[in-house]
Amino acid sequence: MGTEIERKFLVNEDLWVPPDTYMRCKQGYLAVGPPVAVRVRMMGDAATINIKRATLDIVRMEFEYEIPVVDAEELLGHACMGHVVEKTRYLVEFEGHTWEIDVFEGENEGLIVAEIELEHRDEPFAKPAWAGEEVSAMRAT
């Protein structure tokens, strides 16, 4: 079984400087659960379908599979619930961990969230100065 252990933090925009490299992302939800959320995502020139247990715990079941980009475009255009989320993703290395920072656009414009994936629930990690309030229990899937 696939498992994700992830913590999320709001980003203090005054303390964070985006790196030069990034990936554009479009994602939409085919189902929002419970018991699971099903998401289709285009990240750069790749596409995936993702199934996650719809829970607020930082540890949850997750499965992700590559799909053809044309299929993702069709699903995003015609099968998603609600609006399609658009964002820019930056990867930042900080003291032995990779942080994913998502800068949202459209209906979520102004939201900047940093995620860190861990090996186990209690794994220690250094929190960058730009990582503010933890919102792991409030995250969308």
Q: Which domains are assigned to the chain?
A: 3-138 (2.40.320.10)
pLDDT tens for 115-127 read 999 999 999 999 9
Residue corresponding to tokens 């993703």: 89
User: What is the enclosing helix (H) or strand (E) of 74?
Assistant: helix 69-78
Among 85, 141, 124, 99, smallest CA distance to 9 is for: 99
pLDDT tens for 17-37 read 999 999 999 999 999 988 999
Residues of the chain with pLDDT under 50: 141
Q: In the Cβ-directed half-sphere of 68, how many Cα atoms lie within 13 Å? A: 3
Q: For position 57, what pLDDT does the model report? A: 87
Q: Give the C-alpha separation, 141 to 124, whole Å.
A: 23
Beta bridge partners of 108: none
Angle (CA) 18-76-25 rounded to 5° is 10
90 is catalytic: no
Residues in the chain: 141
Active-site residue (options: 22, 29, 65, 90): 29
Going along the chain, which residue ranges are E strands?
Answer: 3-11, 23-31, 36-43, 46-53, 59-66, 81-94, 97-104, 112-117, 131-134
Cβ atoms of 136 and 25 within 8 Å: the answer is no
| pTM for this prediction | 0.91
Q: For position 141, what pLDDT does the model report? A: 44
